[in-house]
Amino acid sequence: MKNDYKYPPVDAVFASPLSRCTQTAKIIYPNCEPILINGLIEYNFGEFEGKTAEELQDHPVFPDWLAGKKGVEPPFGESNDEFANRIANAFIKIVDGLIETGVTHTAIVTHGGVIMALLTLFGLPQAPMHEWLTPGGCGYTIRITPSLWSQGRKVEVIAQIPEVEGEKDSFGTDEDDDFNVEDYINN
CATH of the domain at 16: 3.40.50.1240
Q: What per-residue string of b and e applies to 13-30 under the rule 16 or more CB within 10 Å gives b?
A: bbbbeeeebbebbbebbe
Strand-pair partners of 35: 14
Q: For each successive 10 residues of the chain (187 residues), what is the average pLDDT?
A: 77 97 96 97 95 93 86 92 96 97 96 96 95 91 96 96 60 40 40
The residue segments making up the domain with residue 150 are 12-43+78-186
Asked whether residue 148 is domain-assigned, the answer is yes
The whole-number pLDDT of residue 140 equals 96
The whole-number pLDDT of residue 186 equals 40
Asked whether residue 63 is domain-assigned, the answer is no
pTM more than 0.85: no
Residues 28 and 2 sit within 8 Å (Cβ to Cβ): yes
Residues 123 and 108 sit within 8 Å (Cβ to Cβ): no
- The number of distinct structural domains making up the chain is 1
Asked whether residue 49 is domain-assigned, the answer is no
Asked whether residue 167 is domain-assigned, the answer is yes
Asked whether residue 68 is domain-assigned, the answer is no
